[in-house]
Amino acid sequence: MKYRVRHRCRLSYRQPVRDARLNLRLEPVAWPGQLVSGFSLNTDPLPAERNDHPGPYCVNISSLAFREPVQQLEVVSAFEAAVSPPPLPAATPAVAALRELAQEERALGNLSPAAYLYGSHIATIDEEIGAWAAPHLDPERPMLEAARALTTTIHREFAYDSVATHSGTLPAEAFTKRSGVCQDFAQVLLVALRTHGLPAAYVSGYLRTLPPPGGERLVGADAMHAWAAVWCGAEAGWIGLDPTNDCLAREDHIVVAMGRDYADVAPVDGVFVGSSVQATKFGVDVVPIG
Amino acid sequence: MESQIADLFGPDPGEDPLAYYTGDPQADLFLASPAGVAASWRGFVSGLARQSDGQLAQVQAQLDRHVDELGLAFRLTGDVKERPWPLGPVPILIGAAEWAGIEDGLVQRAELLEAVIADLYGEQSLVTGGHLPAAMVSGSPHYARRMVGLPPRGGHHLKVYAVDLARGPTGEWRVLADRVRLTMGVGYALENRQALGRATGGLLAAAGVRRQSDFFDALREGIAADCSRSEPRIALLTPGRFNQSYPEQALLARHLGFSLVEGRDLVVREGRLFVRTIAGLKRIDALWRWINTQGIDPLNFDTRSRIGVPGLLSACESGELAVANWMGAGVVESRAMAAFLPRLCLRLLGEPLRLPNAATWWCGGRAEREYVLAHLDELVLSSSFRTPVALLPGGTTRPGASLSAQERTQLRGAMARRAIDYSAQEIIPLSTTPCLVGNHLEPRSFTLRAFLARDAFGAWQVLPGGLGRVSQQGDLRTSLMGLGDLSCDVGIVDQPGMEQPAAQAAPGPPAVRRAQGLLPSQAADNLYWFGRYAERCNETARVARTLLEEASGPQADGGGGTVDRLARLLSRWGAAPFWAGPLGAAEAALGDEEQTGSAPAHDARLRSLALLLRDRLSRDAWRALHRPPPGFTSGSAESLIAAADAWIERSAALMRLIADTMSRSEAWRFLDLGHSIERASLVLQAVQELAAPGARSEALSALLDLIDAQALYRSRYLALPHAVPVIDLALLDPLQPRGLIFSARRILQHAEALPGFRQDGRADSPLRLARSIYATIEGLEAESVGAAVLDDLLGRLAQLSDAIGRRYFLQETRPPPRDGGVLLG
């Protein structure tokens, strides 16, 4: 599947802010089965300094520094992506075996399981979530099957509610409320897996906006989307699980970045002098082009 | 004869307190020490006994006083106020031969850790080769992935390093923990030596204890090494005054001549780091950071950090900034790392570890996990990466034997899922050292924190000595100091005949320099307000004193409302509530800290500013500031007057102590500027209240009191006070130091001497305002001074103060980092 993606957003401030330094994480990383071309990132006003670099974890960062005060900032990113996910593995190792495999991998890189085994500031190891997930994670059960069952459970037990949580909500809180948005569902899923010593990551990206003929429109398609990924062994690698839509992340999902939690891949963050954002407008178009 | 008595009755315990010291002959450091070293112990302790006429307890009291005067303090986690630093008078003495072995092992370990860090942030061959499990590395919260492929200029990730050592019961030394993020304690070691040296005269030198100054020179030069400029400017980056070891950081900065800065003092522009000073941005070449990697740069590490410098990393990337230690070095601090070091040492250095660490098992390995579960009772269980985990919610350690049956089941469950989070260590019994308990010496267990630094050539130097910790009970494996712990100096004793080598061929004296150190805007701000509050404290006490004297004088009715006028002045300054009545107002002004303008309230502000200025205040000033504030008997005018006298002396002495010892630098100018502006403004307000048209001579006389000009007036006029001559004295007489024009001239002198920013040669606004204020006052005649003139001058002084703030001080307070979540659906 081939898509044209255009992501536009406008940040407005009550008062002009000074010395703004922003990190934008909008350029898709290299990802198996995904070919990105023609990426462009433009801002108005233009920054005084811009430095594009790969970040820690699987993420591309554009660091912008503004010298002049900024009252309104418009960011437009666009690219084309051809998505053809590698075939799913016929079988994945059992949960207990996978735990050992993950620890035996001799790699520290951005795609290594070791990088996604431990709690982070947002996604801390959580015994309660772990206990809740335990029935699905039988040591002998194949990894992907177990993770997929957990994904369905979240979809069934959690309510999609865009006002129940915000971007700073911790997984434990979303878990207690049993509600939230894509970000919360993804983080609950990965915390559940990590608490059992299984490598799991947070993925940000886009969904196709319009459903295929006869299909249902996916939830989360009008903005950036988030899901989780679980490591299924050296051969199968990372497989995306979308608890919001109760599916695997395949042809309809375009990966932008992968990290331990939301903070590692936040589309924009930074520091500046002045009052905080007053209003944000954004729009995402993900158009199939063949 | 004397020797015969000694032979008959044994040595007098008053002369040799160690004569009857008993302990385990092998495990006790003193009892096990070779003859020469034991003689040094005896010599030192007998010296202490002689100095105190056999009353060793007095030595402790004397030492406490020196500690206090040095301003040594620390906080335990959760403390709001600082505690006095607990220092015992008996040092730990180690013979040169034994120390040489320790030194050797420490240097090897430093090289080893450097090699491990360099690999983990470079090739990662230790991981790909299977010598170090990847999960052992990624589990550390201090493994900074951002730093991979970003080596320091000069190649040294580590420049300062601290090691906790324990001596076992058979005399072997072992490493308990490595500290590379924060070498807490190095400043305390320095001050322990200074305090002990002052309290005991030449005893340390007589015992042959090796000096330590060379180490701190090496540390300074090592941090300055690898800078791109030949005369680098170095700063110590502190998390701020609420940090546990802030006092230590301040004294290190002062001792080493580094600028003490916080994140908000610094700014990155085009790949270079600058400090905001009163003369604009000044480049910083090297940082000694006392902030964790995660907190040091909100743009590149943890976005939530409020203490870091946005973009700091880009100055490192461009090679324009040296940082000690390099970001990410903390990865080797994991408890679990010790399990791998013996093998890594063979691999990386090709030799065995010379100084063993406590045997450690990382439960990530299946065999290790099984061993630990089977031998739990003999081990100390710990969190591999010092993070909170099940059963160890504080991320600390716990003796395995203390786990209940239920907890053991819980541990098995947790290990089945996340064994990687757990490690275990053998229990190391500690040996003992003589410790003063009351009047006697008793054996107490101890640990030693040793410190290493790279010198100018990158070679490791070990501080001869370190920070000793002696404990009555409790776990010495915790942070810096626990409750009930005592610290002590550690001395390395050179045996007779192998005196310490003379300092390496001295490189010749440094070139004479008179340049002032740089003055960060924030420090200037603090100095300015220190000057203002000190003066306000002084004036408040003066007004209270004059009020009390007027009220208890012959004209107790108040002499034409003079007492009421003075009370009004106090209430106008916020020193007393307006309903307090005259005596109540004086009492509030002198004793009620709740009143924002009272003397004790100003005093509290001075003390909190002093914390921020710690690296600039002399010891005497520090001591004066921390004397207990004057007290009084409520309702007793006599006692209140004595208290007012004491407040006046206290604040005046403080200013003198500071001003007398401060070089006439820009720092001093800001202090004096604050002082003069405050004095000018207060005298104007006093004139408004006391010399208003129709004021009676009693009120004018009170004004003369306030400006200390009673005698001068009498000698000049031989008459009752009249408004015009009194106003002339208070405002226009250039020789009257408490008068307005005197202060205005000082203000102008300072404004002229401070750096200007403007390129066009025109005056900055503080200078313009100072000139206009001085010119106005010079042009006044006492007869024409009315309410409008006074109001106008007060207004312009306030404008001047604002202009100084805008021009020289930090304006920016950073809001919490912005949340990017707004973009997400």
Q: Is B137 on the interface with A (CB under 8 A)?
A: yes
User: Which residue among A55, A118, A270 sits closest to B138, beta carbon to beta carbon?
Assistant: A118
Give B86-114 as a 3 state SS string.
Answer: CECCCCEEEEHHHHHHHHHHHHHHHHHHH
CA distance A129 to chain B (A): 13
Q: Which residues of A touch B318 (CB under 8 A)?
A: none
Note whether ipTM > 0.90 here.
yes
Q: Which residues of A touch B814 (CB under 8 A)?
A: 271, 273
The helix or strand, by DSSP H or E, that contains position B274, with its residue range, turns out to be strand B272-277
Q: In sequence order, what E strands does B117-243 have?
A: 160-167, 173-179, 234-237
Q: How far apart are CA B518 and CA B233, in angstroms?
A: 9
Structure tokens at B129: 């080769």
Q: In what order do the strands lie in the sheet with B379-383?
A: B360-362, B422-426, B379-383, B397-399
- Chain A interface disruption, residue of B294, B420, B824, most A CBs within 10 A: B824
Closest CA to A72 of A9, A19, A6, A26: A9
> Could you give the C-alpha distances from B378 to B381, B399, B400, B409, B428, in angstroms and in order?
10, 8, 7, 18, 10
Angle (nearest 5°) at CA B579 between B584 and B675: 70
Ranges of each domain in chain A = 2-83+266-288, 95-265
Q: How many helices (H) and strands (E) does chain A have?
A: 6, 14
Q: Is residue B285 exposed (0-12), middle (13-18) or buried (19+ Cβ within 10 Å)?
A: buried
CB B268 within 8 A of CB B315: yes
The CATH-assigned architecture of domain A2-83+266-288 is Sandwich (2.60)
CB A267 within 8 A of CB B819: no
Q: Residue with structure tokens 């029935």?
A: A135
Nearest CA in chain A to B299: A270
Q: Which residues of A touch B417 (CB under 8 A)?
A: 99, 130, 195-197
* DSSP state, residue B728: I
> Could you give the C-alpha distances from B128 to A106, B136, B330, in angstroms and in order?
5, 13, 21
Contact state of B815 with A125 under an 8 Å Cβ cutoff: no
CA distance A213 to chain B (A): 24
Q: Which residues of A touch B314 (CB under 8 A)?
A: 51, 63
Q: Which residues of B touch A21 (CB under 8 A)?
A: 299, 310-311
Query: What's the one-letter identity of residue B417?
Result: R
User: Which residue among B130, B134, B820 sits closest to A268, beta carbon to beta carbon?
Assistant: B820
Helix (H, G, I), strand (E, B) or coil at B433: strand
Helix (H, G, I), strand (E, B) or coil at B459: coil
Nearest CA in chain A to B813: A273
Cα end-to-end span (Å), chain A = 6
* DSSP assignment string, B485-550: -EEEEEEEEPPTTSPPPPPS----PPPP--PPPP-BHHHHHHHHHHHHHHHHHHHHHHHHHHHHHH
CA distance B199 to chain A (A): 48
Structure tokens at B774: 């001085």
Q: In sequence order, what E strands does chain A have?
A: 2-24, 34-44, 49-54, 60-65, 70-83, 159-160, 179-180, 200-207, 225-231, 238-242, 247-248, 253-259, 268-273, 277-288
Nearest CA in chain A to B123: A108
pLDDT of residue A194: 97
Q: Which residues of A touch B137 (CB under 8 A)?
A: 108, 114
Residues 302-321 (B) with a CB less than 8 A from some CB of A = 302-304, 310-311, 314
User: Which residue among A57, A103, A226 sits closest to B135, beta carbon to beta carbon?
Assistant: A103
Contact state of B127 with A55 under an 8 Å Cβ cutoff: no
pLDDT, average across residues A266-287: 81
pLDDT of residue B76: 61
A30, A32, A37, A43: CA torsion to nearest 10: -40
Residues 525-584 (B) with a CB less than 8 A from some CB of A = none
Contact state of A125 with B314 under an 8 Å Cβ cutoff: no
Q: Which residues of A touch B310 (CB under 8 A)?
A: 21, 270-271
Q: How far apart are CA B76 and CA B83, in angstroms?
A: 8
> A269 has which bridge partners?
A23
Please confirm whether the linkage preceding A45 is cis (ω < 30° from 0).
yes
φ, ψ of residue A206 to 5 degrees: the values are -125, 160
Q: How far apart are CA B677 and CA B799, in angstroms?
A: 11
User: Which residue among B303, B364, B825 sits closest to A223, beta carbon to beta carbon?
Assistant: B825
- Chain A interface disruption, residue of B146, B267, B811, B822, most A CBs within 10 A: B822
CB B425 within 8 A of CB B16: no
Q: Residue with structure tokens 């070891």?
A: B245
Closest CA to A197 of A283, A127, A108, A278: A127
> Could you give the C-alpha distances from A120 to A166, A171, A224, A238, B419, in angstroms and in order?
18, 11, 22, 19, 17
Average pLDDT, consecutive stretches of 10 residues, N- to C-terminus, chain B (825 residues): 45 70 90 92 91 84 74 63 80 95 97 98 96 96 95 94 92 93 91 88 89 92 86 91 82 88 90 90 94 93 88 92 96 94 96 94 95 95 93 88 95 95 91 89 92 96 94 52 77 71 51 65 90 94 92 62 89 88 90 92 89 80 84 89 94 87 86 95 93 86 91 86 92 92 96 79 85 95 91 94 86 44 33
> Could you give the C-alpha distances from B50 to A90, A137, B59, B525, B604, in angstroms and in order?
86, 73, 10, 49, 41
pLDDT of residue B515: 53
Q: How far apart are CA B260 and CA B251, in angstroms?
A: 9
Torsion sign, CA atoms B137, B141, B145, B150: negative
> Could you give the C-alpha distances from A164 to A169, A176, A180, B471, B823, in angstroms and in order?
9, 11, 6, 52, 17
Q: How many helices (H) and strands (E) does chain B have?
A: 28, 21
pLDDT of residue B434: 93
> Could you give the C-alpha distances from B802 to B741, B749, B806, in angstroms and in order?
20, 18, 6
> Which fold is adopted by the domain B359-426?
Dna Ligase; domain 1 (3.30.1490)
Q: Which residues of B touch A112 (CB under 8 A)?
A: 134, 138
Residues 113-132 (B) with a CB less than 8 A from some CB of A = 120, 124, 127-130
- Chain B interface disruption, residue of A8, A10, A73, A106, most B CBs within 10 A: A106
Ranges of each domain in chain B = 92-335+430-493, 359-426, 521-662, 666-811
Q: Residue with structure tokens 């009715």?
A: B557
Helices B666-690/B637-661 angle, 10° precision? 150
Q: Which residues of A touch B331 (CB under 8 A)?
A: none
- Length of chain B in terms of residues written: 825
Q: Residue with structure tokens 């520290």?
A: A108
Residue A79 pLDDT more than 90? yes
> Domain A95-265 - what CATH class?
alpha beta
Q: Which residues of A touch B124 (CB under 8 A)?
A: 108
Q: Which residues of B touch A280 (CB under 8 A)?
A: 822-823
Contact state of B819 with A167 under an 8 Å Cβ cutoff: yes
* DSSP state, residue B731: I
Q: How far apart are CA B30 and CA B434, in angstroms?
A: 7
Residues 361-420 (B) with a CB less than 8 A from some CB of A = 364, 366, 385, 387, 389-390, 417-420
CB A191 within 8 A of CB A171: yes
- The pTM is what? 0.85
Centroid of chain to Cα B314: 29
Q: Which residues of A touch B304 (CB under 8 A)?
A: 121
Q: Which residues of B touch A269 (CB under 8 A)?
A: 303, 817-820
Exposure on the CB side of residue B264, measured as CA atoms within 13 A: 16
Residues 246-275 (B) with a CB less than 8 A from some CB of A = 270
CB B395 within 8 A of CB B383: yes
Q: How far apart are CA B104 and CA B460, in angstroms?
A: 10
CA distance B230 to chain A (A): 28
Exposure on the CB side of residue B639, measured as CA atoms within 13 A: 9
Please confirm whether the linkage preceding B243 is cis (ω < 30° from 0).
no
> Could you give the C-alpha distances from B197 to A212, B88, B194, B448, B679, in angstroms and in order?
83, 12, 5, 19, 42
Nearest CA in chain A to B812: A273
Q: In this complex, how many residue pairs, one in chain A and one in chain B, have their CB atoms less than 8 Å apart? A: 151
pLDDT of residue B465: 94
Residue A228 pLDDT more than 60? yes
* DSSP assignment string, B743-805: HHHHHHHHHHHSPP--SSSPPPHHHHHHHHHHHHHHT--GGG--HHHHHHHHHHHHHHHHHHH
